Amino acid sequence: MPRTPTRAAAVLLWILSLARCQEQHVSCELSADCVLPCSFRSSDEEVIHWRKRDTTVHSFYYGSDQLQLQDKRYSGRTSLFRDLISRGNASLLLQRAEIQDQGRYSCYVSTTLGNSETSVSMQIMALIQSVDMEKTDSGISCVVRGAYPEPSFNWSTDPPTAPGSLSDRTQAAEDKQGLYSATSTVTPPEDLSGHTFICSASTADGTSWTASLRQQEDLHGAVDRALVIPCPIPESSHPSSNTSWTFERDGNLSLILWRDVSMEQPKIMPLWDRRARGLSEDGSLQLQNPEGPELTGTYTCRISATHTLHVVRTKVTIAGASSDTGSFTVIHAIIVIVVALLVTGIVILVLAWQKGWLPRSGPPPKGNSAQTQMLHGVASKEGGETGGGEMEEVKTLSS
Ligand SMILES: *[C@@H]1O[C@H](CO)[C@@H](O)[C@H](O)[C@H]1NC(C)=O
Ligand SMILES: *[C@@H]1O[C@H](CO)[C@@H](O)[C@H](O)[C@H]1NC(C)=O
Ligand SMILES: *[C@@H]1O[C@H](CO)[C@@H](O)[C@H](O)[C@H]1NC(C)=O
Ligand SMILES: *[C@@H]1O[C@H](CO)[C@@H](O)[C@H](O)[C@H]1NC(C)=O
């Protein structure tokens, strides 16, 4: 009879020693349901207390939940797996996990066999909600929203550059919910202008997002001439993706159109209804009749799929009609060249006539072709010089 308590005490010590050295770690997704594990040697008359420091999270005894002392923050969010208690499972289900729920929890269980205490360290994770990449005055920025804990960044280029040639600065801020918005910026050296910049943002749980940005070669279009602006991205990224095109001019940004997976046709914004014909299979933007040089600016496509984003920027110049000073210079130059050519032609003819090898003075003597060629050479040289003189005259006239 006196031996039973001794054995019970021994078992208790064993359980305690076991419990002390094991602290479990769990990661829970923000706003999701989360299970804090706890097990014990099943027996009768269970008393279960879940606590976080000195606050009561959940209690159970006399065969039912006892929530009189429960901290208000946990109200309506906790439960035990009632059917499993008799089998030694005292795990706690915590619903709609919050960032403030993070920390060390203790699970105290007492039964007819004695008591035990284990602890669980809980960490919240929030998967990155979105990643964007943009070009700013200070460089190229990778922007991550809605992550917890703070994400880390990793930059590379395509084609690759030596490690360390890109150094980034990261700024993070917490929103009302406690989630991080982080921006990592690199200032690429001039000689990397043709490269694609790749930013990879990862959170502690190991998931990462990859975004790339590329500035492709400038395009030139003309008023009222259809123009296709390509969005070259890796083949594999096309299906199941969200595509959008934006236009930027003097710091003003305007959404042209967008299409997500569920849509057959892109949604074109009212302002662009008559300018954009639509999207090609490969994501190219079709402009049907740029109405003027005010459509000169940067066109950016964004193609995003799960955990990836590709951004391609294109500077487009739309050459305008009459009133535009740029095209006036071009027309002016063409007139000058045409007039100069005409004058040169006339001068050659006059010279040739003077030297007397035109048909007027009868057929040229035989075997004289070499001499003729020489004369012709001289004539065109003189003609060229005279032409140049004439060109200056024309310029003076027109200015
Ligand atoms: C207890 O039950 C819950 C719910 O089924 C389960 O998630 C947990 O792993 C169990 N714990 C143990 C220690 O068996
Ligand atoms: C950067 O990202 C690449 C690709 O995701 C990965 O292979 C590499 O190990 C990362 N480097 C660092 C320093 O995290
Ligand atoms: C697709 O992109 C557009 C423009 O960026 C955005 O408004 C829209 O919500 C996105 N749709 C999805 C499903 O991500
Ligand atoms: C930018 O947009 C604003 C408002 O839409 C407009 O008043 C302004 O003229 C625009 N600036 C340029 C340079 O287009």
Nearest Cα residue to atom 1 of ligand 4: 252
How far apart are the CA of 179 and the centre of ligand 1, in A?
29
Is the pLDDT at 78 greater than 90? The verdict is yes
Is the pLDDT at 383 greater than 80, yes or no? Answer: no
Instruction: Please give the residue that has the higher pLDDT: either 142 or 374.
Output: 142
Half-sphere exposure of 196 (CA within 13 A, CB side): 14
Ligand 2 is surrounded, with C-beta below 6 A, by 154, 200, 208
| Cα–Cα distance, 60 to 71 (Å, whole number) | 14
At residue 240, the pLDDT reads 62
CA–CA separation, 117 and 121 (whole Å): 13
C-beta 24 within 6 A of ligand 1:
no
pLDDT tens per residue, range 261-285? 888 889 999 999 989 988 888 889 9
* Cis before 232? omega within 30: no
Residue with CA closest to ligand 1 atom 1: 89
Pocket probe for ligand 4: among 252, 253, 255, 296, the residue whose CB has the most ligand atoms within 8 Å is 252
8 A C-beta contact, residue 322 and residue 377: no
Ligand nearest to the CA of 206: 2
Q: Say which residues have a Cβ less than 8 Å from residue 358's Cβ, sequence separation at least 6.
A: 352
- pLDDT digit string (tens) for 340-369? 788 777 777 777 778 776 665 544 444 444
- Expressed in angstroms and rounded, the spacing between residue 154 Cα and the centre of ligand 2 is 6
| Whole-number pLDDT of residue 16 | 53
Q: Residue 70: how many CA atoms within 13 Å on its side-chain side?
A: 18
* pLDDT confidence of residue 357: 65
pLDDT value for 20: 53
8-18 pLDDT, tens digit per residue, is 555 555 555 55
Cα of 276 to ligand 1 centre, how many Å?
57
Looking from the CA of residue 252, the nearest atom of ligand 4 is 1
Domains of the chain, each with CATH number or no CATH = 3-125 (2.60.40.10), 127-206 (2.60.40.10), 215-321 (2.60.40.10), 328-398 (no CATH)
Residue type for 357, please? W
Residue 335 reports pLDDT greater than 90: no
